[in-house]
Structure formats: C-alpha cells, structure tokens
Chains A and B, each alone.
Chain A
Amino acid sequence: FDKHYRLRLHGMFTESAKRHSSRMNVAKSGYRVFSANSTAACTELAKKITERLGVELGKSVVFQEPNRETRVDVKESVRGQTIFIIQTIPRDVNTAIMELLIMAYALKTSCAKNIIGVIPYFPYSKQCKMRKRGSIVCKLLASMLAKAGLTHIITMDLHQKEIQGFFSFPVDNLRASPFLIQYIQEEIPDYRNAIIVAKSPAAAKRAQSYAERLRLGLAVIHGEAQCAESDMADGRHSPPCVRNTTGHTGLELPLMMAKEKPPITVVGDVGGRIAIIVDDIIDDVGDFVAAAEILKERGAYKIYIMATHGLLSADAPRLIEESAIDEVVVTNTVPHEVQKLQCPKIKTVDVSMILAEAIRRIHNGESMAYLFRNITVDD
C-alpha cells in the first residue's frame, strides 16, 4: 500500500510537469502568478512554485513607505487574465493582509478576469468563533478579501474546515498530510514501531486519520498540564480545586459547574515506542513541551512533532531545543528560517509541489479530486 502510494504521488507530479511544459509553449499566456509579499524570506515559496510551473513570477513592486503605508505597483498588463496571488503570512500579519488586499484590488481595477489567492496558511483562523464580545475576525477577513476582488482561494489545512463557509466564493482546502506521511515513512527509520499521539482531545480526529493511513496505533493526551515549578511539593497533583459557589443575584438560572481539569494523562500505551504528535499549527509550544514530558515519562523513547504550519512564535525555538522533543517537522507554508537557525531540531517539508499542481489544475479547468485521493474524512 505505502510504496505504491508514494510512487504514484511522485509519478503524478512529474508526469504532469512533462505534459505541462510542452503545453506551456503552446498556450503562452492566460495566467500570471504574482507574489504580494515585500520580504525575500516570504517570496521563497512563490519562487519554488513558479519554478515548478515553469513560469516567471509577475513583475510587481511591494514595499513599505517611510510612513509605514504599504505600496503595491503592478508593472505589467493583466487585462482579461487569470491571476494567482501567492501570499505567505510572516510575523507581520496585518501588513501581509494589507499587501494582499491592495494587490487584489489593483488587479481588479486593472480588469483581471479572475483573481485567485493562494494563501497556504490562512491568518486569523484561530479567531473563528464568538468569544464574549469579540469579533469573528476570520469572517471579517473573508468579507474583506471578497470586497478587494478575490474570486477564489487556495489554502492548506484550514484550522477549522467550517471557515470555508465564511466565504462567498470557492475555497480549495488542500492537505499537507500526504507529504508529512511520506516524511514519516522515509525519514523515521523505525516508524512501524511508532504511535500517533493527539496532544489534546480536539486533535484526536486528525491524529486518527494519520494513524489509519500509516496502520499505527493512537494515543490521546488529556488534562491540564501541571505547573512543574520546583516550589510544588509534589509536582504530580494539582492543588484541590476550590469550587465557586457564591450566591447568584436573583436570577433563577442554574449555575454551570466548573469543569474539573484532571491531571495530565495519556490514554493509550506509548511504552517502548516512538511517539509522533500531529497537529495543524505549532505556534506557542508550551502544550507540546508538556506533552513530550509526559510521553517520555510513560516510556516513549523518541518524540516527533509533525505540523503543517510552523509559526513558532516568541520563544518557541529555545523551548523546543531544551525540551524532550527530538524533532519538529513542519512544511514551508510559513517562513521559519530564523527559527531553524536557532533550533536545529526543526526540519522542513516542501509542499510547493501540491500548490503548483493546484494552480495548474484550476487554470486548466481540470478536476482537483486527484489531489484529495488519499485523504480521509477526518483529515
């Protein structure tokens, strides 16, 4: 099963590349690919994608003026063409969003036929639910993108699949799992002795889909991470929870019981195995470090983390370096060269292949179904 799948994955892409390069000479224009990022680190992915497609990146200039306003100048005609804008989201999120909006609007007012945003990591996807008196920023962003002129979006591993519903135009939510699974099979020598771990019950569905495809077992971590300060007499048990039973003022509504968080625990047997934690985003690594601790305690001898989007904010590289984690594998949807320099445990998997293939298929009006062949319902 595995070998055939891997060969087919490779074969599919190389075949298409050969077919396409001859086709490219016949139908010269018809689509252009632009990058709306202003920094070199961010345009790396765009360059890889255009190399695979055999096209040149569209000529444009994106920069910040001294007064911090973003300026976008498109230097070629786009009239009547299908345009793909590749935008990676770096540390400066709001500026990247503004760059994308301005470029999309510039293309719309220059009479581009279709404007397709290729946004591998979609920002603000964690702010997709109502929280007290907050804003559903994801919905706001979706409305803004539509208004700016985007007609279609290609993204990868959306944090919540339901976000697709916020958009008034088609959203192609590609998956990185085939690449991460391939990495596991090729780069982890003893992977058949591994077990897939979900670092919280919320991640169980995704972990399950990996476990199924790799024919491995599953474990789930549950509970509150201990504050393992040295002050604590016994680090294994949190102090007894004081329940809040203050009287309520006349409203006859029943008080909601506070959920008691049990101490952190692993459901499933990881003794003598390699533990592979899978998730969509790795940002603040506190949870991952705590999970690695408990897995080591329960007998796992190696710990890997596979995540699609490696945001790795703040102290993440240092914390990973000092932790029980052996390797962190992320894709190149989010630039993380700086973090890699600080922490050699971080490895990158290139997903430009599938993004380029998606662009090609959309332009040619071909079915995208092949790209989703080996994806389970829960992925």
Chain B
Amino acid sequence: MPNIKIFSGSSHPDLSQKIADRLGLELGKVVTKKFSNQETCVEIGESVRGEDVYIVQSGCGEINDNLMELLIMINACKIASASRVTAVIPCFPYARQDKKDKGFFDIPVDNLYAEPAVLKWIKENIPEWKNCIIVSPDAGGAKRVTSIADRLNVDFALIHKERKKANEVDRMVLVGDVTDRVAILVDDMADTCGTICHAADKLISAGATKVYAILTHGIFSGPAISRINNACFEAVVVTNTIPQEEKMKHCSKIQVIDISMILAEAIRRTHNGESVSYLFSHVPL
C-alpha cells in the first residue's frame, strides 16, 4: 500500500507489531525516550511528507506519559507535513471520568466494537455455549449484553445494586435465572475487579455451574489480580488493547483475545476510503 506509515508509541509495541504484520508493513522508525529530567522526547526517523500516518498508542500503564508521547508524535508528524494523521487508541484513557461528555470531538472518531471477536471466542472456546446465559454485572451494561445474547440466541440476565435504606450497604440482586447454566459475565472494562468478583460469587450461589468473565479492556490495577485468583472464575478473558503478558504470569485464569486484525482492517479501510461499518458485525480473517 503506498503512502501509508504506521508508528508505535511505547505503551503497547506488541500490538502495534501485530497490526503492522497483518497489513504487511514495517513499523515506521521513531525514537521515543525521556531526558534525565523526565521530559519526553520524540524523533521521527523517516520522511512522512504527504503520507497517511497512523499512530498506535493505548491509554494504559503510565497514562499521562503515554498521552504526552502521543500528542508530541502527532504534533511532530503534522509539522513534518504528513497529509493526514490518525491516532489509533485501543483503550481510550479518561473515558470514565466524564460520563456526561463522552464523545465530544471536533474530528472524526471511529469507535470499533470488540463484540464480533467476543462472539467468535465464545463459540470456539465454550463448549456449552448454546445453553449459556450472558450476564451484565450492572444495569448500565444491559444493552451490550442483550446484543450479544441475541446474536448467540441465548438468554441474558443482569445484576443490579439495590439500596434498601440510606445507611445500608448495597445489595446485589440477580435478575434472571442462572440455575444449572454456564454464566458469561460481559463488561467493557475491568479495573480493580471488585464488581465482577462479587458478581461471580452471586452467580455461583444462585446455581450457575461455571462463570466466565469477558471484558474488552483489562486494566487490572490495584488488588485486581489477587481478587481474580481468589474468585471462582473458570476463565477471565480480555482483549489485547492493553498488554497482558506480565499479568498472565501472575494469574493463570487470564486469557487474551487478539483484536489486532480488527484494528488493522480499520486502518486499511480508512486508508482506502472504504466503509468501516462492516467491522461492527464481522471479524476479519
């Protein structure tokens, strides 16, 4: 493909390499480092004049450092006369803080969905999937969960918090029947994992035979890993929007779905001016 360059920030070089491999390209040469006073320094190592540039940087790890690095790389490419600069941000940082203002951008945004990849994983890895039940750990995820349940033609359930009186701790209430079923918890991100671990306990005591958790972004900060190790999950499945190798060493229950092909296909289609909406319901080969 002519006139296209892909650069990787330092947050997730593994994913960037996978994306580049799928596109049959080499990653662009760029040097990112920090001076001794911890200021970030970026130097693009090849010409980007007139090129369609994609920069892959995920909002994980040291978020502020990675964000600054991304901004500086974008700025450097613009100054070096790139014809278009697109940021590929698999896990978008600070998305939870402004729940009211989600999606306030002046520039085009393509929000891809992991759903097709999740469906594929369920069919290939959970033998009893035809009789399973998809569960949302909170009321907010109901739409996401029903969408998956419909495509698999299975039932769904949800857990919501009920507060009886002002000073009482929230109770978790299960809405739906999970007796003798394999339960699959689905959510967009797992940070400290308090909610999903409680949900798993609830499901087991309500009669579920096995509990899986499938989460798009596995942030796993704080006590998350020890909570998962102590909880009763069959498996905790995340995508590779955030690097998981280190965490997998400490927790054998974590499995990873590779979504590099979705991002690579999105890049290819954007570059060729084709529609990206095909990816909302299909996983590229």
A326 contacts chain B at the CB level, 8 A cutoff: no
| Partner of A69 from B35, B44, B45, B94 at Cβ < 8 Å | B94
Q: Mark B34-66, 1 if CB is under 8 A from A, else 0.
A: 011111111111001000000000000111110
Chain B interface extent, by class: 35 or more
A130 contacts chain B at the CB level, 8 A cutoff: yes
| Partner of B221 from A67, A93, A126, A313 at Cβ < 8 Å | A67
A212 contacts chain B at the CB level, 8 A cutoff: no
Closest A residue to B30 by beta carbon equals A133
Kindly state the separation between the CA atoms of A68 and B65 in the bound complex, as whole angstroms.
10
A67-B219, A283-B36 given; A127·B76 CB < 8 A = no
Q: Mark B61-80, 1 if CB is under 8 A from A, else 0.
A: 11111011001110110011
Q: Mark A130-145, 1 if CB is under 8 A from B, else 0.
A: 1111111101100010
A66-B192, A66-B221, A68-B221 given; A91·B38 CB < 8 A = yes
Within 8 A of B (CB), among A85-130: 91-95, 97-98, 123-124, 126-127, 130
Contact A94 B76 (CB under 8 A): no
A311 contacts chain B at the CB level, 8 A cutoff: yes
Number of A-B contacts (CB under 8 A): 90
B234 contacts chain A at the CB level, 8 A cutoff: no
User: How near does chain B come to A145, taking the closest CB pair, in angstroms?
Assistant: 12
B177 contacts chain A at the CB level, 8 A cutoff: no
Chain A residues in 8 Å Cβ range of B75:
135-137, 139-140
Closest A residue to B80 by beta carbon equals A133
B222 contacts chain A at the CB level, 8 A cutoff: yes
Contact B64 A136 (CB under 8 A): no
Kindly state the separation between the CA atoms of A68 and B67 in the bound complex, as whole angstroms.
12
B93 contacts chain A at the CB level, 8 A cutoff: yes
Chain A residues in 8 Å Cβ range of B73:
135
Contact A133 B76 (CB under 8 A): yes
B272 contacts chain A at the CB level, 8 A cutoff: no
Which of A134, A135, A144 has most chain B Cβ within 10 Å? A135
Closest B residue to A133 by beta carbon equals B44
Contact B79 A68 (CB under 8 A): no
